[in-house]
Structure 1
Amino acid sequence: MRILLVEDEPSIADTLVYALKTERFEVEHSLTGGGALKLHADDPFDFVILDIGLPDMTGLEVCKQLRETSAVPILFLTARDGELDRVLGLEIGGDDYVTKPFSPREVVARVRAILRRSEGREERSGPSDEPTGDSDSPLAHDESAMRILCQGQALDLTAHEYKLLLVFLRRPNRVFTRDQLLDHAWEDPGAVTDRTIDAHIKTIRAKLRALCPGTEELIQTRRGLGYAYVP
């Protein structure tokens, strides 16, 4: 597997390159977003580790440009206070994020987990206005309209409900803790309690039940752990 690391802090980059190569990944490092885009265009990588704070453009902009032509898995590196960046990163096509400071071992573990989930996913030939999602699932994401469809009908969701359901759709079968869901869907997770997640999940299920009876069961409660979307 060839990994493109986009990180402008040499000390962080050196540590990650060493950790990844120890795990037998091939790694190429770019200090800038523009350089990374050129490297990927010339010879596409299997995975991208992307810092959000870069000297020439944001990692979010790099992600947007990559997503115009590629479905390469992307792991964001974010600052401790970048909750909004985390949410935006996931919404525009990132697969996961790691918050600085982090353990190189954690990054390697996240890379392997994302690669396992991404097996069989093909590169996209370009942007599409068609709703995307598992063809066997009644739920689909209409990215251009920023709405989620249930059996072809648009769900009437609040902004936080939309963000929560999108997190589930992007990572089916993965169990999310309440804290993780707060990080993904709230700009300031510390301003609300984890019981806020329970309340929103309840309303999402009610809306699914009203529009497409039976689909509310797709969001499963894992007692003592959190929630998962199981299509």
Structure 2
Amino acid sequence: MTGVIHKVVRNRLDSQEKMARILLADDDIELSDMLIDYLDKEGFEVDVAHDGNAALEKALANQYDLLILDVMMPNRNGFDVLRELRTQSSLPVLMLTARGDDVDSVVGLELGADDYLAKPSNPRVMVARIRAILRRAETQGELHGVNEPPDRIAQHDLVMHIGSRTVLCAGKPIPMTSTEFSLLEVLLREAGHIVSKAKLSEQALGRKLSRYDRSLDMHVSNLRKKLGPLPNGQERIKTVRGVGYIYSLP
């Protein structure tokens, strides 16, 4: 009986994953073909673009669930694509950067990428990152009974609506990536308490914190820029050196 249940659950998950449409933007045709084959076997529907102009055009014209975006592409590089995309869309983006090039990863996150992955990367790691991003971007969740978290979180001048995944600050809508939204949600639910980087990474990014990963720092920096200080001028999100972050209370 247990085996049947597991099979039903697996089939349900496979069905959900097949609904996920991914745009892969990379000028390396051989690598793209390999990734398309792998992602297809993992249950994703994959479209491809081999230059920046085509990537941006497809990303804006079609309904994708995620964009895998390489930095180095002809006609328009990945940074330019992401910069333009973010003026019109909050489509989740997984940036592919050169291995060991921290500058590329930092710039990508500053421009609004949800996460980054160094090339060449293990396809299994890529799939794990994709699924984590898709979970963060999910706009509808299952009910969990009386212990279900509240749909609305309010602190000071900030209001977060979980169901619609929208954020208002001083009554003004604040555009956010799925990663920024998830990170802010964790901080708001723990407002007034220090949240460790390890906990933030697991709950907001969906993975364990690695030693040299700067993703959290960059996402927090982006949140600070978008939200600004509290009405009284106090820093909204404080860094607790060597530990983590805290969303400030008066």
TM-score by length of 2: 0.56
Distance 1:178 1:38, change over 3 A: same
1:29 match: secondary structure: strand
> Could you say which residue in structure 2 is the equivalent of 1:57?
76
Deviation at 1:57, TM superposition (A): 1.4
Assess if the C-alpha contact under 8 Å between 2:237 and 2:245 holds in 1: no
1:77 aligns with 2:96: yes
Assess if the C-alpha contact under 8 Å between 1:95 and 1:114 holds in 2: yes
Distance 1:76 1:138, change over 3 A: farther
Whole-Å separation in 2 of the counterparts to 1:104 and 1:53: 19
- Superposed, 1:1-231 pairs within 5 Å as 1-120=20-139, 136-137=154-155, 172=183, 173=186, 174-175=200-201, 176-181=209-214, 212=234, 216=238, 227=244
Unmatched segments (≥5 aa) in structure 2: 1-19, 141-151, 159-168, 171-178, 187-199, 202-208, 219-228
TM-score by length of 1: 0.60
Distance 1:105 1:66, change over 3 A: same
Distance 1:66 1:215, change over 3 A: closer
Distance 1:177 1:211, change over 3 A: farther
Count of residue correspondences: 167
Q: Which amino acid in structure 2 is aligned with residue 136 of structure 1?
A: A
Q: Rg bigger for which structure?
A: 2
2:109 match: secondary structure: helix
Deviation at 1:9, TM superposition (A): 0.7
Report percent identity of matched pairs: 34
Unmatched segments (≥5 aa) in structure 1: 122-133, 141-150, 153-167, 186-206
Distance 1:56 1:213, change over 3 A: closer
Whole-Å separation in 2 of the counterparts to 1:214 and 1:72: 26
Assess if the C-alpha contact under 8 Å between 1:74 and 1:95 holds in 2: yes
1:97 match: secondary structure: strand
Deviation at 1:82, TM superposition (A): 2.3
Whole-Å separation in 2 of the counterparts to 1:63 and 1:214: 27
Over the residues paired in the alignment, what is the CA RMSD in angstroms?
3.5
